[in-house]
Amino acid sequence: SAVEETSFNLRVGKRLNIKKTKQIASQVVNSVIRNPNTLVWLTQLKEKGQYVYGHSLRSAILSAVFGRHLGITEDKLETLVTGVLLADIGKTKISRKLLNKADSYSENERKIFESHVELGVEILAKDNSIPHDVLTIAETHHERFDGSGYPYGLVGDEIPAMGQIAGIVDTFDAMTSKKPYGKVYSSSQAMEWLFKQKNKLFSAQLVDEFIQAIGLYPAGSPVQLSDGSIGLVLSHNKQKRLKPEILLIRNAQNKVLEKPRFIDLSKKPPFSNKERPCITGALSMTKLGVDVDHILNNFNAPNAVQRMFA
């Protein structure tokens, strides 16, 4: 990917190609404006062994969806996405051995890891064509509302809004992605955790808006239904957020369906007065026991899904 190429070039001493990064940001923003659910689906395609690169792109997609929900103008949205894409660029100057370490960091290792913020700002500051807001995002995306973040320990609204937005999407994707360290949370578990951090690590208002923008069960999230079946969320129903459109991949007997089926939980089945099953909880991608990447790619979700009667 272009994100991976940018990181590789910096590791071997080449210059940052800001033009290419801005093109990616523009494509992400345009896609989100056309169909935000499709882009959120892409955040579920977690590439094995490519956490750092995939994390930057998924976080950028989430920031575009979140920013659009907040009413940020298109040009500012592109700046936000560019900043999130480049927020961790300083990690190219940190050893891969340290970045991929599964055990807890020592105090010295933690300081080295946290230095990626300063290193990233140094890289970005060398290019005069990079907007100042992009540097600000890179510099402040690890600051936290209660002052416990780094590198400056900023408190509350001392943290620029774009830095706060970047911090939320960065944290959410890190929690829901497989990585060398830490457990993987389901989307709803991560949302619940964020909810508990209101006015602690993050602004209460921004946490509430993020949950509204992405949903308790984001597009592409695996969910358990009350009849025992399992499906993937296709898209939100803004009036009935707990009753989204679902792609069923396992039936009530927990058998994988040869042909996944589309159902809309907000509507009764055709020719029936029975209610649809309801969502009882979210599942982690790692616990599904099916190749979700294969399902998503084959069905080009959510646009090319054949909407059959369930």
Amino acid at 248: L
Q: Name the catalytic one among 22, 46, 91, 179.
A: 91
Instruction: Produce one character per residue of 155-172: b if its CB has 16 or more CB atoms within 10 Å, e if not.
Output: eeeebbbbbbbbbbbbbb
Q: What order do you get walking across the sheet with 279-282 strand by strand?
A: 256-264, 245-250, 230-235, 222-225, 279-282
Residue 129, CB-side half-sphere exposure with 13 Å CA sphere? 9
- How far apart are the C-alpha atoms of 280 and 81, rounded to whole Å? 34
Looking at residue 276, the DSSP 8-state letter turns out to be P
User: What are the tokens at 162?
Assistant: 């774009």
User: Which of 204, 137, 213, 142 minimizes the C-alpha distance to 171?
Assistant: 142
Residue 204 near residue 198 (C-beta atoms within 8 A): yes
Residue 82 near residue 134 (C-beta atoms within 8 A): yes
Phi, psi of 255 (to 5 degrees): -95, 140
Residue 258: strand, helix, or coil: strand
User: Which of 261, 152, 161 minimizes the C-alpha distance to 202?
Assistant: 161
User: Which of 193, 224, 228, 230 minimizes the C-alpha distance to 211?
Assistant: 193
**Cα angle, residue 100 at apex, residues 99 and 105 outer, rounded to 5°:** 65
Task: Examine the residue annotation and report whether 111 is marked as an active-site residue of this protein.
Answer: no
User: Which of 232, 252, 236, 241 minimizes the C-alpha distance to 305?
Assistant: 232
279-282/256-264 β-pairing:
unpaired
Catalytic residues: 91
